[in-house]
Structure 1
């Protein structure tokens, strides 16, 4: 407790699910925790602040509030995000941009806002919540997968840029987690009958995997590890399924991986 009792953490998207459990876990680890959401509810465990990560002024005001109260910011956990469930061409450009503005550019906004503070401290850590869909294909969630692939590339590149300033950027990659994420998936705004059957298969797959999905506390525990490790790894998988997928992607031949992947996703075995 004494190692982190003077440290301050911000967790975006902390009103429920992974964000809320992460905020609780960090508080238990000794951090002074600020959670954010667009419409924060009162909490007896953490300080909740209003923040829309798609708005520059909102992000700046949130960071200024935390810094003025705490005097430092040691940890930023970028968790805010949402998904679109549908084939890639079933979403308009506007819908795709709206999701990227949260999942990628929201993360970039909060990161840019906190970096000068961490640089002046000569220390800081940013943990970005990615996904195994940032490692593997995401049929019928292609836009969400693309946003997480972008988060992976941004995070790994930024880590090399700021490491010499005492700042580290770390990725946490969950698989399916028992939160309201799947229930809150946005439907495409330009659906096509061509994809209706495959979309149904995707929904059936989600229903199956959510029965054995990890609890959000599993991810929260990994975030604490990533936040407190003296020499952090570049990325941490969260849960046994995520570790399995990561290993398969790295070591199984492409053809064999694709065949197994399509079978699990209830997609026809087309070469």
Structure 2
């Protein structure tokens, strides 16, 4: 992997930091990005400032890497954020646009910036950090799930377009991952009293689940596997739970999946007026 150049967005913590560190250990020359750029932390890769919602910022960081290295072999699109558990109608259209601007259009901006250079090189890899929520629904997380569904469709279409140019696109699909991601959730900006109790219940459930979630390194290892594969797959699950969910989605009857999701989140009980779960 020596002399191969990688750019990892959202690399200041969590999956992005673990991925950049893992790639550097494998021999890549890695540039990570965050809104603030360099920090006091000691890392085996350099941090550059990047705001994936601004075209000029995206173009500047790609041009800087190319100026320094003359090529770019791997782009890992990881930057993104989520919204705390809330009903879909509790986020305004402005908030919905903001989520898509970072989580989906950020991927589009970065891809548009690097593809011309990879095309001229005749090779390159683009790896998008998706989620099991790219193929499963997330009640009370509809907007985040929608961005991950969009990444799945975009990535698969893009891979068909670019593979004859020597460029391959893959999506990594983790389940719950223990990061600071949930600590930085954006609160819904149009909250309704009708959903107050279920918001609180699902927030508590999420905290319990995250306490036993996979470490970011689980995802980083899969990114490295996809980056180095001679014949990369379009989709890679990351972690045991993600693999099981992918198999269930593929082979289980739709009705069984639907019932399982509602049972796991205790939705039918929680949404009943006067439910003892809501009254606790």
Q: TM-score range by the shorter chain?
A: over 0.9
Is this contact kept in 1: 2:170–2:234, CA < 8 A? yes
Is this contact kept in 2: 1:201–1:265, CA < 8 A? no
- Per the alignment, residue 106 of structure 2 pairs with 106
| SS of 1:236 mapped into structure 2 | strand
Q: How many residues align?
A: 267
- Per the alignment, residue 14 of structure 2 pairs with 17
- Per the alignment, residue 69 of structure 1 pairs with 68
Q: Does 1:147 align with 2:147?
A: yes
| SS of 1:176 mapped into structure 2 | coil
CA distance in 2, matches of 1:189, 1:80: 22
- Per the alignment, residue 219 of structure 2 pairs with 219
CA distance in 2, matches of 1:30, 1:249: 36
Is this contact kept in 1: 2:21–2:43, CA < 8 A? no
Q: In structure 1, which of residues 28, 31, 35 is the aligned counterpart of residue 28 of structure 2?
A: 31
CA distance in 2, matches of 1:165, 1:115: 10
Give unpaired runs (5+ residues) of structure 1: none
CA distance in 2, matches of 1:211, 1:264: 17
CA distance in 2, matches of 1:222, 1:243: 12
- Per the alignment, residue 170 of structure 1 pairs with 170
CA distance in 1, matches of 2:95, 2:233: 34
Going from structure 1 to structure 2, the CA distance change for 1:44 and 1:212 (only over 3 Å counts) comes to closer
- Per the alignment, residue 274 of structure 2 pairs with none
CA distance in 2, matches of 1:200, 1:258: 23
- Per the alignment, residue 79 of structure 1 pairs with 78
TM-score by length of 2: 0.93
- Per the alignment, residue 245 of structure 1 pairs with 245
Instruction: Quote the offset at 1:47 in angstroms.
Output: 0.8
Is this contact kept in 1: 2:125–2:169, CA < 8 A? yes
- Per the alignment, residue 194 of structure 2 pairs with 194
Give unpaired runs (5+ residues) of structure 2: 272-280
TM-score by length of 1: 0.96
CA distance in 1, matches of 2:215, 2:167: 29
Which contiguous aligned blocks of 4+ residues in structure 1 show a shift greater than 6 angstroms?
none
Q: Deviations over 1:47-70 (max 9, x none)?
A: 100010000000000000000101
CA distance in 1, matches of 2:267, 2:208: 15
Q: Does 1:55 align with 2:54?
A: yes
- Indicate the larger mover: 56-65 or 244-253: 244-253
CA distance in 2, matches of 1:145, 1:202: 16
CA distance in 2, matches of 1:238, 1:205: 22
Instruction: Quote the offset at 1:174 in angstroms.
Output: 0.6
Q: Does 1:254 align with 2:251?
A: no
